[in-house]
Amino acid sequence: MIQRIQTFYLLLAFICNGILPYIFPLWKTMDANGKMAPHYFMQNMEFVFLLSLSNALILVSILSFKKRMQQFLLGRINLVINLILLGLFVYQSLTLSGGANSAPEKGIGLILPVFSIVFLVLANKAIKKDDELVKSVDRLR
């Protein structure tokens, strides 16, 4: 059902992957005018693809609430995608160029996949617990 706790966790993961990256920049670098220019995820196609794929999997997982094992599998796949995304974010942040005067500032957008991973793990734990509860009730019948 939609009112289960795993749906709430999946919605929080969707907010971390689908809404907050538009608000918080990944990092800020110095532009030619000497002003700090924010760098959002939309400026890199790999980030756009992985975040879009993750969001699509979250939405499919929310809508497949009757198929718990499919929901669990989609959560696992989504965890791997978010780990890859986090690795790409870390790699990009470590390879940012910056001189003595133009050191890039890391933004909160870099740690959004961490929050998403936490919510996906909690959702998978709740899905597993729900599946075990249904199996135990089936054994009693």
Q: List the structure tokens of 79.
A: 């965890």
Beta bridge partners of 28: 38, 105
pLDDT in tens, 51-87: 999 999 999 999 988 888 999 999 999 999 999 999 9
Residue 5: name the closest of 114, 134, 124 by CA: 124
Contact assessment for residue 33 and residue 25, using Cβ atoms and an 8 Å cutoff: no
The tens digit of pLDDT for each residue in 1-39 reads: 567 899 999 999 999 998 998 888 888 877 777 777 787
User: Per DSSP, what are the bridge partners of residue 111?
Assistant: none
Residue 30: strand pairing partners: 36
